[in-house]
Amino acid sequence: MTNAHDLEFPVQNLMEVTERPEIVFVKGDGAYLTDHRGKRYLDFVQGWAVTCLGHCPPVVGEALAAQARELITPSPAFYNEPSLRLAGMIAAHSRFQRVFFTNSGAEANEGAIKLARKWGRRFKGGAYEIITFDHAFHGRTLATMSASGKPGWDTMFAPQVDGFPKATLNDIASVEARISARTAAVMLEPVQGEAGVLPATVEFLRELRALTRRHHCLMIVDEVQTGVGRTGTLWAYEHFARTAAEAPDIMTLGKGLGGGVPLAALCATEDVSVFEHGEQGGTFNGSPLMTAVGGAVLTKILEPGFLPGVVDAGNYLGAQLSAVVRDLDLSHERGWGLLRALALGADFAGRVVTYARDELHKHPGWDDMGLLLNAPRPDTIRFMPPLNVTRGEIDRMTEGLRIAIDAAR
């Protein structure tokens, strides 16, 4: 429980849903955050892969301000220009012709689940099951918790939503064993993020696509964390889908799509977009304010040279982490693009995160500066820098990481 008296800000009126350090952030710029005491932090978490252009990039501020002066929302019952433009951009640069905007990744996945069930009812004799994977993370609504593969999550608020048999990532036989006439879809993250950055193999993803086609099931990719350039391609499914036949039927987006503002999306091919009027909607969905920001962010990411820059930075980060593994005798590094993880080989990741944040400033060169890292597992540190991170920032992070690992073990 946070002790409010140690802070200059009262915290007792927020619901306690997670343990938070006694820091209140007041400013962000690029790869850095500043807290209420004026201490700066190099941030390799970026709101959990959300602020993909760094904190407070001018392009986001300008799009918000300009749109707020024109039209904030006319209600989702009417068309608005920014949402039409952003849906058009996503369609032009992906395999999906139809987009439904949402406010969070969980809501996009909840929509994907509904769409797959609707499709199953119409085209597959009432099939409703969606095969998902152990350790998967799809969100915190009742259905997406049930779809997630975190132990205990499908019964935490029982009775929850059933119909999510679990398979094992990269084990095609485990999926085959669960496919039946009841199966409407298979849903997965191309790289399991919250599980600790565990990539599906390209071979597995291709086999899975072929299997779902043979059994007349949909393939849903949850790209809430991997989409919008994070893995070095615009969408992670591009790593395995060479042709339209290999592409998934449904993709969900979130996090980076809004560059920090609440914006997510459910994207589907034309033939799978089977919602009828009244079956999907929401007060804030596809508001011009948020979709104008999404349009500005996507425009930036589609600029020539941006995605090659992500690939380059990802390779550089991977090489720096490999050097840390070698020098400090750790287990290994892994990941795609700028979604990477360092496997320590022992359970002290939490201590590394705390040390980097709270103690690094005691070391020469880190005066009044901390480093923000994330530990999705006790033995794993995850890196989600801004997609425009510089080599200098990666070097500085690596230097701080080495100090924190040395101190923490």
Name the site residues for ligand PLP (rule: CB under 6 A): 48, 104-106, 109, 137-139, 189, 193-194, 222, 224-225, 254, 264
Task: Please name the amino acid found at residue 8.
Answer: E
- The answer to whether 371 and 404 have CB atoms below 8 angstroms apart is yes
- In the complex, the smallest distance separating the C-beta of residue 201 from ligand PLP, rounded to whole angstroms, is 18
Gap between the Cα atoms of 176 and 113, Å rounded: 20
- In the complex, the smallest distance separating the C-beta of residue 191 from ligand PLP, rounded to whole angstroms, is 9
Q: Which of 352, 397, 390, 407 is nearest to 371 (CA)?
A: 397
Closest CB to ligand PLP among residues 142, 325:
142
- In the complex, the smallest distance separating the C-beta of residue 265 from ligand PLP, rounded to whole angstroms, is 11
Closest CB to ligand PLP among residues 223, 399:
223
Closest CB to ligand PLP among residues 225, 231:
225
Closest CB to ligand PLP among residues 94, 320:
94
Helix axes 288-301, 81-92, angle to 10 degrees: 30
Residue 157 token pair? 């608020």
Closest CB to ligand PLP among residues 63, 191:
191
- In the complex, the smallest distance separating the C-beta of residue 193 from ligand PLP, rounded to whole angstroms, is 4
Closest CB to ligand PLP among residues 189, 399:
189
- In the complex, the smallest distance separating the C-beta of residue 154 from ligand PLP, rounded to whole angstroms, is 16
Taking CB atoms, the residue at the shortest distance from ligand PLP is 105
Closest CB to ligand PLP among residues 232, 256:
256
Which whole-number Å values give the CA distances from 387 to 28, 155, 242, 261, 343, in the listed order? 16, 36, 24, 16, 22
Closest CB to ligand PLP among residues 82, 193:
193
Gap between the Cα atoms of 262 and 278, Å rounded: 23
- In the complex, the smallest distance separating the C-beta of residue 371 from ligand PLP, rounded to whole angstroms, is 21
- In the complex, the smallest distance separating the C-beta of residue 196 from ligand PLP, rounded to whole angstroms, is 12
Q: CB-based contacts of 262: which residues, under 8 Å, 6+ apart?
A: 103, 104, 290
Q: Which of 228, 280, 285 is nearest to 254 (CA)?
A: 228
- In the complex, the smallest distance separating the C-beta of residue 354 from ligand PLP, rounded to whole angstroms, is 21
- The answer to whether 376 and 343 have CB atoms below 8 angstroms apart is no
Closest CB to ligand PLP among residues 120, 139:
139
- The answer to whether 128 and 120 have CB atoms below 8 angstroms apart is yes
Task: Please name the amino acid found at residue 261.
Answer: V
- In the complex, the smallest distance separating the C-beta of residue 251 from ligand PLP, rounded to whole angstroms, is 12
